[in-house]
Amino acid sequence: MNIGDEVVYNGEYGEILTGKLTAIGSDKDSYDDIKLEDGVFLYKSKKLKKYVPFKDKSLSSVYIEITRGNAPGLANFDYILPNELIGNV
């Protein structure tokens, strides 16, 4: 799973939804450079100067932006946690 892939995820009320994974981010300032590579969330380590996988305890700070449909507006975006992803379409 990578940015740009069509994904399946759990909606707010437990419903199964699909959309395009468009971005990832974190609510922690220390994770300012994040990427998703083959389903693994990576951040740029300032100490090691390379991308390293998130630790399980830090993964809860990551959010995923999903775009649904083609109509303009914020109603077409969902922001979910990694554990709400089910997989690729």
Residue 80 covered by a domain:
yes
Q: pLDDT tens-digit profile of 22-34?
A: 999 999 988 889 9
> What is the residue range of 34's domain?
6-88
Residues in contact with 47: Cβ distance below 8 Å, sequence separation at least 6, in sequence order? none
Residue 57 covered by a domain:
yes
Q: Is 44 exposed, middle or buried (0-12, 13-18, 19+ CB in 10 A)?
A: middle
Residue 35 covered by a domain:
yes
Residues in contact with 34: Cβ distance below 8 Å, sequence separation at least 6, in sequence order? 24, 25, 26, 41, 42, 43, 44, 62
Whole-prediction pTM:
0.84
12 vs 41: CA distance, rounded Å: 22
Mean of pLDDT values over 6-29: 92
Number of domains in the chain: 1
Residue 58 covered by a domain:
yes
Residue 50 covered by a domain:
yes
| Phi, psi for residue 41 in degrees, rounded to 5 | -80, 125
CB 7 within 8 A of CB 16: no
Q: What's the confidence (pLDDT) of residue 53?
A: 96
pLDDT at 79 over 70: yes
Residue 1 covered by a domain:
no
Q: What's the confidence (pLDDT) of residue 30?
A: 84
Residue 21 covered by a domain:
yes
Mean of pLDDT values over 28-43: 92
Q: What's the confidence (pLDDT) of residue 8?
A: 96
Residue 12 covered by a domain:
yes
